[in-house]
Structure 1
Amino acid sequence: MTTNTTKTPAQQPTPLLPLPTTAARIGVLTGSALALAGTFLAWTWTEEFPGNLTVTGYPGGLQVITLAGAALTLLFTLSGMGVRGLNWLTPAGKTGPTALTALGVLGTTTYALAAISVQLGGLINLEPGAWISEIGALIAVIAALGLPGDLPPDDENTNPWTRFKHHLKAPPAPRAKELANSVEILIITAAFGIGLYVFAYGIDTYSELFVGFLITVALAAPALFRAGLIARLNRLTAKHRTITLTAALIAAACFPFTQTDESYALIGANILIFATVALGLNVVVGLAGLLDLGYVAFLGVGAYTAALVSGSPQSTIGIQLPFWAAVLVGAGASLIFGVLIGAPTLRLRGDYLAIVTLGFGEIFRITMNNLNGSAGPDVTNGSQGIPNIPDLEILGFNFGAPHDILGFTLGRSGNYYLLMLLFTAVVVMVFRRSGESRIGRAWVAVREDETAATAMGINGFRVKLIAFALGATLAGFAGTVQAHVSYSITPEQYLFANTVPPNSAFLLAAVILGGMGTISGPLVGAALLYLIPAKLQFLEDFQLILFGLALILLMRFRPEGLVANKRAQLEFHETGQLDVPEQRLPDDNVGTAKAGA
């Protein structure tokens, strides 16, 4: 009696990896290990280059960033090889994250070598540790070209560059097994803790170190997406939304306590002002689909109103209201201007509406200049603005004085950062509630097709006017804090475009690059658009060139924004659906046609 010894597919032994794939992974491991080891050796002989790269035994400056990138590449490679305990690192893509992080290590190390050579005067200033890390990073990238893509390439396109492009694409991460709620909450908390540490480290960097940090983060972030870790984290945050918002608020509140320099806390406060105004613009542009190029004027209305009623010695009104009253007056003034400007202009669409709003922004700035007592009534002191705006004092808490909290000394910038964080939380709540309401669905309907929305009974003009008024109110709301943070208000702060945000161009870019119609998108976009120019000032004339190049690349490879909703992803990318098949005659008609022929 013969016995069937055929094994089922589940019983088949796992085939060995192809030799080229194994060699490529060994190459990535070897190169990453060399790059990591080189960071413990001196990269230059003099301390004139920032970061103290002369010490052997522990890394510093740009060496720390290279070490972090090399360690992440090693972990992703080992996870792709199926090492027990590391499989969770790459639930979706096994090779794409490795290629991206390896490229980040090479970019950071190459930039470091170039910066040392240019600043110190030649390659002679490089020590062996720099060359070891550079050669190791190069080996890792070349070996990564030999790894098979997570999505198989076409039969006719099997060259290394095509395979490398497939590393940038990964299938959706498989749904993970359910974990205990306590474990999922712990994962969310750890994720926000890591995010706080990375942000605090980045804002604390300087000149050349920040550029290296930016290169690594720019490639490590998509690597986490391709690995599937971000997708799984999004599922957890969607499941525990309240816990997520609480963790985000706590992590943001801890930021000023991680900083010892007041200038960095001031950057954080200005980022929150910029982000809050961008979120208000997201109501107008992202939800209602109205292109507003003069939105920064509403920020100016709120700031000027608060400056006039907050007790400045140069105020022509000469009154001092409590802060809560000044906030209401500033937000109310912006609301009135939003209705007055929106009522006659919102019957326009597209480019015509954009031109009118751009004109309003310029009219506001020119009017503030002319209210100087010479060309017009003496209200705003003209180009001199309103200086010496006093610091706030709420319930005996003076925001201009340092305070000891939990053993940490919080200065003026930290105080205003926490106040602005509270304002940001209020604006986020308003945006979320309004977007999920009936009027929010009406905004989306008008944005997608106003004619169809009108046919369904939606009053398009009324809906757009509400969006315009709400966006103006939120901008004026943030402007009341900006007036106190900046000490003085001048018309030049509210141009359409200049090198210092916030301005209308940067606000619109923050919404589009971050992700229109989302909550976290404008916050992320505003943080990047404010932080990057502030940190690249040492590049002087090349600052805007590199900044513009980064925006072009981002729009080329992720036009839907950094944090995009599903609708935007479907609009800007292929859905992977099959093409519609060609129409064919039914069998009966075919036979009839043949008979007729």
Structure 2
Amino acid sequence: MSRLPTLITPELQERYTPVGRIVALVGCAVSIAAPFLPWAWSGDALDNMTIAGYPSPLQMIALVLAAIIGGLLIASWLIKPDRLPWRIGWIRGAKAGTFWLLLYIALILVSIAVELGGLVNVVYGGWIALVGAVLVFGGTRFLVPERQPTLASAVAKPWIEILAIVALMAVALFGTAFALNHDDGGSFVSFLAAAGGFIAILFRTGVMSWLTGVSERHRKVLILAAFVVAFLFPFTQNGSDANMSIATQILIFAATAMGLNMVVGLAGLLDLGYVAFLGAGAFTAAVLSRSAFSTVNFHPPFIVVVLISGCVAATLGLLIGSPTLRVSGDYLAIVTLAFGEIFRITMINLDGQAGPNLTNGSNGIPAIPDLSILGFDFGKPHVVFGITLGRFSNYFFLLLFLLALVILVFVRLNASRIGRGWVAIREDERAAEAMGVNVFGLKLFAFAGGAFLAGVAGSVKAHVDVSVTPDQYVFLTSAFLLAAIVLGGMGTVLGVLVGSVLLNLLPEKLRFVADYRLLLFGLLLIIMMRFRPEGLVANQRRQLEFHEEDEELVERVQEELDETGEMREATR
């Protein structure tokens, strides 16, 4: 793994470790005290940082982050490594957290300056917080980090591990609700930096490795907790449809990306026209709906519409895949890109003039009515436990159920012989064919299966969006779907979910830089490809593929594999 060059040599670290620890602890004390001072001249910036003695929520986050870093530094000083059965990365975690603390405070000060019209509006408390963060960051540079943590093999009592999963899910729920309820762009970006700091500390101390092991031992509890957290999310929005509309689009995007992940992440087929399958499902559902602009007089129940939409998209996948999957690499990418454009133009031409009147051409099919399943009207608000759930909250629950089914299909296929065949094709197509793998058949199945999942997602999207037009399904959407998989981590479920959330949430919260959103997105991808090409949430195989030269990573992964094997043997 590539590392940034440093001017602080090991000799300097060893010589100035005591001084560095003192400087870092002083910086932590300053950073903890600074939130009790005013940071901004006016309360119009961020969340009102003008009152002395009463920290705002964003100031409290800085205080907590600084307190955690200080606790790690004190623990590394007082607790001897031989007193614990496992190695914990006290200094590693502190060093990782200091960077994010400095970034967090710097972003807050910049936001205050931008929103109030200059750095003159940053008062003394903000500058003291910045000085404290600089002291912490500089002091920890002289501390020598410990060996790699070994918490991955730590096993606690089952009730403690289950409690840890519940606590983690609760933090994720309230953290997400807190972030979404901040419409201010500066607050949102600053919160992301703070969240990055907490996550970096978990990784560098080894706690995340322990949580990974806990998740493996209590997989059913983790899945249940995640589902409960997602189910409770609409109840944290006080009946607001603003954030729930974003949440529904994220779930639609994630369900669609999961199908593309089957094609790209597992089978290794580069598809740049995948949005056509999503559009096929949406147009099929729109045509079969009871809209006044529908062009056919056939309106089956919604469950039938979902199946028809998926089958139509899968048929298109078979039609485009049969003649084109004989090619691979760049040629396949060009063919699928052309197919995406052909689909959009075809939908425009089905207007009754250039072709049969099926989609109303570029006008599409508007006024698609809301779903009504078993007497439940998704378009009307409902009161549950005294909380009003609006239209998008209703669709959120339906999409949550749909996403659960899509993930189940993906996971089961990935663990089957079919999934192993896809991975073999992705790694080396010729070797897989020589070993008897039906390369063309599995490729075609991946294409059709991924198209089916996209068509199912599109059938719900048509009712959520109320209207369907050809201009909604352009190449840029395919590019974003592919970017979500690459950014999150190809071949993984959690990676696709993370990538989908980031690529849908960030544009909505960064409207204050609307002219530069694509530029920032491009820079983010460049940084990711440079420092973490395997994605944010990558499996060990792909991580080793991209970082074969990193001996420390290879040794750590080998240790984790050995420890996992020993735990499995012990539990038999």
**Could you state the TM-score of these two structures normalised by the residue count of structure 2?**
0.90
Please give the alpha-carbon distance, in whole angstroms, between the structure 1 residues aligned to 2:74 and 2:382. 48
What residue is the counterpart of 2:211 in the other structure?
233
Q: 1:268 to 1:122 in 2, by over 3 A?
A: same
What residue is the counterpart of 1:275 in the other structure?
254
What residue is the counterpart of 1:135 in the other structure?
131
1:138 aligned partner, one-letter code:
V
Please give the alpha-carbon distance, in whole angstroms, between the structure 1 residues aligned to 2:22 and 2:143. 11
How many equivalent residue pairs? Answer: 536
Partner SS, residue 39 of structure 1: helix
- Structure richer in helix, relative to its length: 2
Please give the alpha-carbon distance, in whole angstroms, between the structure 1 residues aligned to 2:456 and 2:220. 25
Quick check: 1:146 aligned with 2:142?
Answer: yes
Please give the alpha-carbon distance, in whole angstroms, between the structure 2 residues aligned to 1:546 and 1:218. 18
1:242 aligned partner, one-letter code:
K
Please give the alpha-carbon distance, in whole angstroms, between the structure 2 residues aligned to 1:428 and 1:30. 48
Please give the alpha-carbon distance, in whole angstroms, between the structure 2 residues aligned to 1:343 and 1:307. 27
What residue is the counterpart of 1:492 in the other structure?
471
What residue is the counterpart of 2:511 in the other structure?
537
| 1:553 Cα deviation after fit | 1.5
What residue is the counterpart of 2:38 in the other structure?
42
Q: 2:448 aligns with which of 469, 481, 484?
A: 469
Q: 1:227 to 1:383 in 2, by over 3 A?
A: same
What residue is the counterpart of 1:183 in the other structure?
160
| 1:18 Cα deviation after fit | 6.9
Cα deviation 1:97-139 (Å, max 9, x = unaligned): 2122211121121122222223323332222211111111111
Q: Is the 8 A contact 1:50 1:61 kept in 2?
A: no
Quick check: 1:516 aligned with 2:494?
Answer: no
Q: 2:176 aligns with which of 199, 222, 243?
A: 199
Q: 1:58 to 1:91 in 2, by over 3 A?
A: farther
Please give the alpha-carbon distance, in whole angstroms, between the structure 2 residues aligned to 1:554 and 1:218. 14
What residue is the counterpart of 2:530 in the other structure?
556
Larger radius of gyration: 1
After TM superposition, the structure 1 stretch with the greater mean CA deviation from structure 2, 45-54 or 206-215, is: 45-54
| 1:576 Cα deviation after fit | 5.0
What residue is the counterpart of 2:361 in the other structure?
382
What residue is the counterpart of 1:14 in the other structure?
none
Q: Is the 8 A contact 2:154 2:210 kept in 1?
A: no
Partner SS, residue 95 of structure 1: helix
What residue is the counterpart of 1:587 in the other structure?
none
Q: Is the 8 A contact 1:312 1:318 kept in 2?
A: no
Query: Over the residues paired in the alignment, what is the CA RMSD in angstroms?
Result: 2.1
Q: Is the 8 A contact 1:311 1:321 kept in 2?
A: no
Quick check: 1:210 aligned with 2:201?
Answer: no
Please give the alpha-carbon distance, in whole angstroms, between the structure 2 residues aligned to 1:489 and 1:549. 32
Give the % identical residues: 49
Please give the alpha-carbon distance, in whole angstroms, between the structure 1 residues aligned to 2:64 and 2:291. 49
Partner SS, residue 36 of structure 2: coil
What residue is the counterpart of 2:150 in the other structure?
173
Aligned pairs (5 A) from 1:241-320: 241-260=219-238, 261-320=240-299
Structure 1 gaps, min length 5: 1-16, 152-170, 498-502, 579-597
Please give the alpha-carbon distance, in whole angstroms, between the structure 2 residues aligned to 1:466 and 1:82. 58
Please give the alpha-carbon distance, in whole angstroms, between the structure 1 residues aligned to 2:97 and 2:52. 25
| 1:202 Cα deviation after fit | 1.9
Partner SS, residue 304 of structure 1: helix
Quick check: 1:331 aligned with 2:305?
Answer: no
2:211 aligned partner, one-letter code:
L
| 1:27 Cα deviation after fit | 1.9
Please give the alpha-carbon distance, in whole angstroms, between the structure 2 residues aligned to 1:62 and 1:193. 19
| 1:577 Cα deviation after fit | 5.2
| 1:221 Cα deviation after fit | 2.1
Q: Is the 8 A contact 2:47 2:57 kept in 1?
A: yes
Cα deviation 1:430-466 (Å, max 9, x = unaligned): 0011111111111111111111111111111001000
2:237 aligned partner, one-letter code:
Q
Q: 1:198 to 1:81 in 2, by over 3 A?
A: farther
Please give the alpha-carbon distance, in whole angstroms, between the structure 2 residues aligned to 1:409 and 1:78. 47
| 1:61 Cα deviation after fit | 5.3
Please give the alpha-carbon distance, in whole angstroms, between the structure 1 residues aligned to 2:78 and 2:150. 16
Q: 1:442 aligns with which of 394, 416, 421?
A: 421
Q: 1:551 to 1:150 in 2, by over 3 A?
A: farther
What residue is the counterpart of 2:18 in the other structure?
22
Please give the alpha-carbon distance, in whole angstroms, between the structure 1 residues aligned to 2:282 and 2:37. 52
What residue is the counterpart of 1:68 in the other structure?
64
